[in-house]
Amino acid sequence: MKRRHLLATAALGLGLVFGGAAMAQDKTKACFVYVGPIGDGGWTFQHHEGALAVQEAFGDKVEIAFQENVPEGADAERVLTQMALSGCNIIFTTSFGYMDATNAVAAKFPDIKFEHATGYKREHPNVSTYNARFYEGRAVQGHIAGKMTKSNKIGYIGSFPIPEVIMGINSYYLHAKKVNPEVELSVVWAFTWFDPAKEADSAKALIDQGVDVIASHTDSTAPLAEAAKTNGAVIGFGQASDMAEYKDGPRVSSIIDNWAPYYIKRVGALMDGTYEQADAWEGIAGGEVEIGEITALVPAEVKAEAEAMRDAIAAGTYHPFTGPINKQDGSPWLAEGQVAPDGDLLGMSFYVEGITGEIPK
Amino acid sequence: MFGSIDPALLVAALMVNSVPVMLAATGELVVEKSGVLNLGVEGMMIMGAICGFVTAVVTGNPYLGFLGGALGAAALSAVFGVLTQVLQTNQVATGLALTLFGLGLSSLIGQSYVGIRPPATGDLPLGPLADIPFLGVAVFGHDWMVYASILLVAAVWWVLKYSRVGLILRAVGESHEAAHALGYKVTRIRMLAVLFGGAMAGLGGAYVSLVRVPQWTDGITAGAGWIALAIVVFASWKPWRVLAGAYLFGGISVLQLNLQAAGSAIPVEYLSMAPYLITILVLVIMSSGRGKAALAAPACLGQNFHASR
């Protein structure tokens, strides 16, 4: 009797589960593919915040799913296919390296929307790309770096030599140079988005050579942790996320990626039927790039200048890439007063004049 | 060519950089010498990283942190030991699963520890030694774990080569049937070796989260365990060569970052692949000798043992 009772309960439970699954089909399912762990405190953490914001905004009407630590390359295609088969209506792939995988899988699932972050390929009508104008934030940080350096050596930890990263290095350097003509930039390529030990080693290599301001384009807080060991001799910036836990130490400001508005907009558009293929590239003005609080370590007038630059960029009265700017080899790129076209920026494969060193190929 | 690189700082960075991999590889060497192949080093390291971190933060004592890291990773390796030695599962598959398990479990334990700073592990005061030009900066300005790791390599070398325990351990690894026939408890000895390997990997992991990158983030060891496995092979199962291998891998990775920071024209890709090329080269040279003996691998490596067979 008891056993039968148990079986009946189990059957009832199963029925509920399947019933629930059937009902879930009416929900919009938004899926996210992450390159790192959501606990990285940087890039992936911010994307996940965006995903949670979608859940918050639409409540029961959407279901979110995500996968962390998905390697870029063949594995990504497998994960994407799996997600597409599992009933996702819209899939956000949040790293540059997923570009080809996203387009390949999108070809097989024309009814599912794919959104690729930081890419430029939209080979199918169901593929959109979105990005943020991080170089706007880097301009503000470059200004602070140029003013704050005592050794006139500033450093930058690059992830991969792709336009996105090179653009940031150029913007950072140009604005440091503008306020401090003596400044020299050292770039270290870590060839990883997320490897805290390697990021810390990169920061250490820069510090060992006299660099006293470090910016990074990798995803963890490790460079700040390394800078913290110098007891205030070296400062740095939060990257992707505010990294506020280092506020009383080396972190003097930060670039914050805020993906929530975009994610909510796109999922919302899909739900009310207004969704269209897009190529989004928002910046400070659109709220996607935020400048984290500039701390008291930075003198008041430098802080005011940096905030004025931020506001000018937001108002559209200042573009960080305004000529005259020459390429590294001395050939002219932008004439006096000319503003860089987006196409040039998105395909950027050269350093601007004054940066020594070569971009790895 | 070396521009603004300071050789003393380079050596200093190299010594610190190599510690986690050296500890984990030394532990794995003992495990493999006993005839067990544990591919779960990465998982044990990251368990050591989080257990060490949690212990240090909770107790406020970095020394207890290292102890906690070693115990946590040893506990994880005990799972591997029970599965492979008692339940006779496949060692390769179990080891790989152990890595995945360790990565997941550490992430779970670490959820509420993101963004916390652990208590600092102080440098070992070596008094006047630190004032010696060059050597003072390069060799005598480190935290105590740097020296402890070298002492541990020395201890493992001595035990394996000169002590009775080492002899028994090697006998079990070379021929478990013969060792069993002589009355040695093969399973028990291997179990202890696995626990020791886990503790060493845990120390290495704790070093990452407490000293090298003093913070916790998911996946913080980022593949160091796999390099440790490669170094054991590279070292052809000899402790001092483990030390040399760890310094080679660590040194080249530090050097390439420094060369970049100094604006050197040497393409970093060449340096990045150098340790792996050397490992392959060593393997080719070793295997070109007289069969398996030339490979120096313990003869029973990876084979399960059951007394009733």
Mean pLDDT of B25-30: 96
Which pair of tokens denotes residue A182?
């003596």
Cβ distance A209 to B218 less than 8 Å, yes or no, reads no
How many residues are given for chain B? 309
Mean pLDDT of A211-217: 95
Q: Which residue has the higher pLDDT, A360 or A87?
A: A87
What pLDDT does B184 receive? 93
Domains detected in chain B: 2-115+134-295 (1.10.3470)
With 50 as the cut, is the pLDDT of residue A15 above it? Answer: no
Assign residue A41 a region (left: φ > 0; alpha: ψ between -120 and 50; beta: otherwise): left
Cβ distance A197 to B4 less than 8 Å, yes or no, reads no
- Answer whether B207's CB lies under 8 Å from B19's CB: yes
With 50 as the cut, is the pLDDT of residue A24 above it? Answer: no
With 70 as the cut, is the pLDDT of residue B83 above it? Answer: yes
With 70 as the cut, is the pLDDT of residue A285 above it? Answer: yes
Strands A251-257 and A289-292: antiparallel
Amino acid type, B308:
S
Q: What are phi and psi of B215, to 5 degrees?
A: -170, 170
Which chain A positions have a beta carbon within 8 Å of B218's beta carbon? 36-40, 68-69
Other CB atoms closer than 10 Å to residue B277's CB: what's the count? 10
Question: What are the beta bridge partners of residue A251?
Answer: A236
What pLDDT does B292 receive? 52
What pLDDT does B5 receive? 78
Residue A292, SS3 per DSSP: strand
Cβ distance B107 to A37 less than 8 Å, yes or no, reads yes
Mean pLDDT of A298-316: 94
- Answer whether A171's CB lies under 8 Å from A239's CB: no
Rounded distance between C-alpha atoms, residue A277 and residue A282, angstroms: 16
Other CB atoms closer than 10 Å to residue B185's CB: what's the count? 14
Strands A153-158 and A184-189: parallel
Least confident of A121-125, A149-153, A324-328, B123-127: B123-127
Mean pLDDT of A131-144: 94
Q: Listing from the earlier edge strand, what are the strands of the sheet with A127-132? A: A62-67, A28-33, A90-93, A113-117, A127-132, A279-282
Which chain B positions have a beta carbon within 8 Å of A360's beta carbon? 267-269
Q: Which residues contact A1 (CB under 8 A, 6 or more apart)?
A: none
Q: What are phi and psi of B39, to 5 degrees?
A: -85, 5
Rounded distance between C-alpha atoms, residue A248 and residue A253, angstroms: 11
What pLDDT does A52 receive? 95
Cβ distance B218 to A68 less than 8 Å, yes or no, reads yes
Rounded distance between C-alpha atoms, residue A169 and residue A187, angstroms: 8
- Answer whether A28's CB lies under 8 Å from A225's CB: no
What pLDDT does B290 receive? 61
What pLDDT does B262 receive? 81
Strands A235-240 and A213-216: parallel
Rounded distance between C-alpha atoms, residue A326 and residue A324, angstroms: 7
What pLDDT does B309 receive? 59
Q: Which residues contact B172 (CB under 8 A, 6 or more apart)?
A: B34, B35, B179, B184, B186, B189, B190, B300
Which chain B positions have a beta carbon within 8 Å of A228's beta carbon? 117, 214
Burial-class residue A145 by CB neighbours within 10 Å (0-12, 13-18, 19+).
buried
Least confident of A59-73, B154-168, B210-224: B210-224
Q: Which pLDDT tens digit goes with each residue over B31-49?
A: 999 999 999 999 999 999 9
Cα torsion A191, A195, A198, A201 to 10°: value is 130
**What is the Cβ-side half-sphere exposure of residue A32, based on CA atoms within 13 angstroms?**
28
% of chain B at pLDDT higher than 90: 55
In the block, residue with structure tokens 């060193």: A357
Q: Which pLDDT tens digit goes with each residue over A253-279?
A: 999 999 999 999 999 999 999 999 988
Residue B282, SS3 per DSSP: helix
Confidence of residue A1 (pLDDT cuts 50, 70, 90): very low
> What is each CA distance from A211 to A173, A188, A224, B22, B130, in whole angstroms?
14, 12, 13, 29, 24
Cβ distance A206 to B222 less than 8 Å, yes or no, reads no
Confidence of residue B1 (pLDDT cuts 50, 70, 90): very low
Q: Which one of A169, A186, A188, A208 would you mutate to disrupt binding with B, by most B Cβ within 10 Å of its Cβ?
A: A208
CA distance A328 to chain B (A): 14
Q: Which one of B211, B220, B259 would you mutate to disrupt binding with A, by most A Cβ within 10 Å of its Cβ?
A: B220
Kindly state whether B5 is in contact with chain A, defined as any CB-CB distance less than 8 angstroms: yes
What pLDDT does B198 receive? 97
Of B9, B114, B224, the CB nearest to A208: B9
What does the DSSP 8-state code read for residue B76?
H
Cβ distance B6 to A186 less than 8 Å, yes or no, reads no
Cβ distance A196 to B223 less than 8 Å, yes or no, reads no
Q: Which pLDDT tens digit goes with each residue over B261-297?
A: 887 767 777 777 777 787 778 777 767 766 554 567 8
Which chain A positions have a beta carbon within 8 Å of B219's beta carbon? 36-37, 40, 69, 194
Confidence of residue A6 (pLDDT cuts 50, 70, 90): very low
What pLDDT does B291 receive? 57
pTM of structure: 0.81
Q: Which residues contact A324 (CB under 8 A, 6 or more apart)?
A: A332, A334, A335, A336, A338
With 70 as the cut, is the pLDDT of residue A2 above it? Answer: no
Rounded distance between C-alpha atoms, residue B120 and residue B129, angstroms: 22
Cβ distance A198 to B220 less than 8 Å, yes or no, reads no
Domains detected in chain A: 28-132+259-282 (3.40.50.2300), 134-249+290-346 (3.40.50.2300)
Amino acid type, A262:
Y
Mean confidence (pLDDT) of chain B = 88
Mean confidence (pLDDT) of chain A = 88
Cβ distance B9 to A358 less than 8 Å, yes or no, reads no
CA distance A199 to chain B (A): 9
Cβ distance B224 to A197 less than 8 Å, yes or no, reads yes
What pLDDT does B149 receive? 94
Q: Which residue has the higher pLDDT, A326 or B270?
A: A326
Least confident of B124-128, B174-178, B252-256: B124-128
Q: Which pLDDT tens digit goes with each residue over A82-94?
A: 999 999 999 999 9
CA distance B214 to chain A (A): 7
Least confident of A20-24, A289-293, B79-83, B252-256: A20-24
With 90 as the cut, is the pLDDT of residue A40 above it? Answer: no
What pLDDT does B289 receive? 66
